[in-house]
Structure 1
């Protein structure tokens, strides 16, 4: 698959099974994230990879957040299962620092670009992925458990694994509805 086809046919796949990327493939996925646009060379991202026992630790963190909110059993149950929707979850963190020329929003967008680059690299290696946020990405219990501080933000949870479904056709959008020229 060439780069243009990869970008034009991008699709999230929600059903992912083992194996997850490892070795050279995982290294390339992480390196792709490190190539995200980075105004000021701040490297405003960190990647927390959960596989195997790490998925259970992530589930425990999500359950702790739901419990702290006095959530009902349905929400707690959903939190306990969320990380197991794929054999790997990469939590992408925007490490936001005070900078006179690079505002926080640019640092967060840079981390978002890193997430997208990693998803595309996973697909290039034959894996699938989907990017989720939800309430857990903004929850103080989750942030604390994952070591975030200050203005750090979780940009998303990138689920990666081997596709276990057929991708639906990518919708073709009319560019005229989204583009204007000055």
Structure 2
């Protein structure tokens, strides 16, 4: 979802910058002003003295201007951090044993691990997400358990089976895992 919001916001900001900044640059370089442009020519200022001093005597004007600008700066910083901070690696580096590394797509490892986990006894469904860095991934596993199964037995089976296989196949020294267990809720059935 963040990727879609990011693209829409970038498109809007880009469109505003092109529509407002493009004519300013073109007029500054000597092009004729468009008919809708409020200024006449190259040496015309964007804000004349009357426009700049119009609200100066109002007590609310400068605090509102500063608050809006501060809010824009904070939103821009939040947006930049959200774009730069990637919670999930795109790939995991796999030790091939010959001193070289190979890359394995995160989604492929997630799907393989989820497939193996879903075949454990008593597991109805499994969801796996990898987080962390390429060289040190972390797994988040959500298990939906059938009502009759012992959670401790399933957790031991998960640790000894799929997680050990994933760690050994990728050559990772450790694969820290957060596991959440939930029981499947079945809809009540009418007995006749």
Q: Could you state the TM-score of these two structures normalised by the residue count of structure 2?
A: 0.30
**Which protein shows a greater Rg?**
2
Relative to the length of structure 1, the TM-score reads 0.31
